[in-house]
């Protein structure tokens, strides 16, 4: 039988009769009395389906996947060595019309990751750093005077508030060599945020705007059409993010990247996979899913350049790492957690890992190796060469998690030091 969802305010009984061969239901005396009193009658029920015409919650039954749920299927390759893989990209952005070339890995705009010190080191590898928003214009002036060559590889960050936009404007006017703006809010679905993107685009037509975070295709399209160039994808996957626990809102990261990349590329826009990466293999999966850039937080925490003091516990060194919506971050920057909100992040201590350059080289080595497994001579080709397979287990952990090379080197130094 033909069924169609009906708009109870506008449906035509002639149409309904033609489709379902029904007559208009007679109103009961009680129903007529309610209408006469001007009160809203109870929702009608469709006689054929016995369902209320009021909108009800919906369950999407298609399974969404995360990085841990898949592996990449190997394919025939003509590459002889990892050294043959080109991990650089050249990208022309949708709205700024600028062309950028470099390695599409980005340090997250967290104050224990996106520091000026991190920007200096990552610029040597042609990475991008989204510098956290808590530096003052004077801090920026000092940094720019010391490292003017690093400015093209950094983004100045802020939210959608008038104060943040005013601060971004002041920094960009003083330092025109900065090419990237990162507009970052927890909920990129807000109309206020969309309007902020439009306003910043109007004020800075030639700057490349990063905007987020969102996880669905329709919002990617709206932000791109509102003036953004690159959309940050990810709600809740980060290692120190508790949004999913606190709100119940989120989207598995691999599926989010697949959906959002498809939407963005249809408009010649670009996406960043932001959050959820725990190892170089996850970074490769994000690129394989269609991400143009991968943003890292936890994987870059704990280094010399990550900000914060070293903490010694039981003879080992650690550094503090926390989410930017955690109570610790809000106490540090806002004087505490506002009464109307809850913390959506946590604070942890991570093992001290030495210089960040070693970790970055390990990440790039893993991505190059992935490319050789699927026959991609350039990073740009990896999404075209990637086939994901669902798995029930990825690793054999009979002897526990193996430390990465960087952690082993630091551990040896601490023992001998």
Is 236 within any annotated ligand binding site?
A: yes
Is 288 within any annotated ligand binding site?
A: no
Q: How many CB atoms are located within 10 Å of the residue 11 CB?
A: 13
Is 191 within any annotated ligand binding site?
A: no
What's the helix, strand, coil split of the chain in %, to 5? Answer: 40, 20, 45
Is 369 within any annotated ligand binding site?
A: yes
Sequence-distant (6+) residues with CB within 8 A of 67 are: 253, 254, 276, 277, 278, 281, 282, 285, 286
Angle formed by the axes of helices 253-265 and 280-288, nearest 10°: 40
Is 298 within any annotated ligand binding site?
A: yes
Is 307 within any annotated ligand binding site?
A: no
Is 306 within any annotated ligand binding site?
A: no
Active site includes 241? yes
Distance of CA 255 to CAs 204, 262, 280, 316, Å? 32, 11, 18, 38
Q: Which strands sit side by side in the sheet containing 347-351, from one edge to the other? A: 310-313, 316-322, 347-351
Is 30 within any annotated ligand binding site?
A: no
Is 133 within any annotated ligand binding site?
A: yes
- Are 235 and 246 in contact, with CB atoms under 8 Å apart? no
Catalytic residue among 130, 153, 182, 241: 241
Among 221, 307, 247, 270, which Cα is nearest to 98's?
A: 270
Active site includes 243? yes
Phi, then psi, of 114 in degrees rounded to 5 = -80, 65
Catalytic residue among 112, 115, 208, 243: 243
| Cα dihedral 321/322/324/325 (nearest 10) | 180
Is 343 within any annotated ligand binding site?
A: yes
Chain centroid to CA 130: 13
Is 238 within any annotated ligand binding site?
A: yes
Is 345 within any annotated ligand binding site?
A: yes
Among 5, 16, 8, 13, which Cα is nearest to 43's?
A: 8
Is 186 within any annotated ligand binding site?
A: yes
Q: Report the C-alpha gap between 196 and 261 in whole angstroms.
A: 23
Q: Report the C-alpha gap between 392 and 370 in whole angstroms.
A: 20
Is 269 within any annotated ligand binding site?
A: no
Is 266 within any annotated ligand binding site?
A: no
Chain centroid to CA 249: 14
Is 35 within any annotated ligand binding site?
A: no
Is 344 within any annotated ligand binding site?
A: yes
Is 212 within any annotated ligand binding site?
A: no
Is 188 within any annotated ligand binding site?
A: no
Is 45 within any annotated ligand binding site?
A: no
Number of residues that this document lists for the chain: 417
Q: Before 377, cis peptide (omega within 30)?
A: no
Q: Report the C-alpha gap between 89 and 145 in whole angstroms.
A: 29
Binding annotation for K(+): 236, 238, 241, 244
Binding annotation for NADP(+): 81-82, 133, 184-186, 235-236, 324, 340-341, 369-372
Which residues are catalytically annotated? Answer: 241, 243
Binding annotation for NAD(+): 184-186, 234-236
Binding annotation for GMP: 274-276, 297-298, 323-325, 341-345
Binding annotation: 81-82, 133, 184-186, 234-236, 238, 241, 244, 274-276, 297-298, 323-325, 340-345, 369-372
């Amino acid at each position: 039988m033909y069924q169609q969802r009906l708009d109870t305010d506008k449906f035509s009984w002639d149409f309904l009769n033609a489709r379902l061969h029904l007559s208009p239901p007679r109103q009961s005396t009680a129903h007529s009395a309610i209408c006469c009193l001007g009160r809203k009658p109870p929702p009608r029920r469709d006689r054929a389906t016995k369902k209320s015409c009021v909108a009800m919650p919906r369950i999407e039954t298609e399974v969404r996947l995360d990085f841990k749920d898949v592996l990449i299927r190997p394919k025939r390759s003509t590459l002889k060595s990892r050294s043959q893989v080109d991990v650089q990209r050249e990208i022309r952005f949708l709205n700024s019309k600028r062309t950028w070339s470099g390695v599409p890995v980005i340090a997250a705009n967290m104050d224990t990751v996106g520091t000026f010190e991190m920007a200096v080191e990552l610029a040597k590898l042609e990475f991008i750093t989204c510098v956290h928003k808590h530096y003052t214009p004077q801090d920026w002036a000092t940094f720019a005077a010391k490292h003017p060559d690093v400015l093209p590889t950094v983004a100045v960050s802020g939210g959608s508030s008038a104060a943040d936009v005013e601060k971004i404007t002041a920094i960009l006017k003083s330092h025109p060599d900065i090419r990237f703006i990162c507009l970052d809010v927890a909920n990129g679905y807000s109309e206020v945020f969309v309007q902020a993107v439009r306003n910043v685009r109007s004020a800075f037509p030639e700057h490349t705007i990063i905007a987020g975070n969102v996880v669905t295709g329709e919002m990617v399209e709206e932000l791109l059409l509102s003036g953004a160039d690159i959309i940050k994808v990810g709600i809740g996957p980060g290692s120190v993010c508790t949004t999913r626990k606190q709100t119940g809102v989120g989207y598995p990261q691999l599926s989010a990247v697949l959906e959002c990349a498809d939407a963005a590329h249809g408009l010649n826009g670009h996406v960043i996979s932001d959050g959820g990466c725990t190892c170089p293999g996850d970074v490769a999966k994000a690129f394989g899913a269609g991400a143009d850039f991968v943003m890292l937080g936890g994987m870059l925490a704990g280094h010399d350049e990550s900000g914060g003091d070293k903490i010694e516990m039981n003879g080992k060194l650690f550094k503090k790492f926390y989410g930017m919506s955690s109570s610790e971050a809000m106490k540090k920057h806002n004087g505490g957690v506002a009464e109307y909100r809850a913390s959506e992040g946590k604070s942890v201590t991570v093992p001290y890992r030495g210089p960040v350059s070693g970790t970055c080289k390990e990440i790039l080595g893993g991505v190059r190796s992935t490319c050789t497994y699927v026959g991609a001579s350039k990073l740009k080709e990896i999404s075209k060469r990637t086939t994901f397979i669902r798995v029930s287990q990825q690793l054999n952990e009979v002897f526990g998690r193996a430390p990465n090379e960087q952690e082993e080197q630091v551990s040896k130094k601490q023992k001998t030091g």
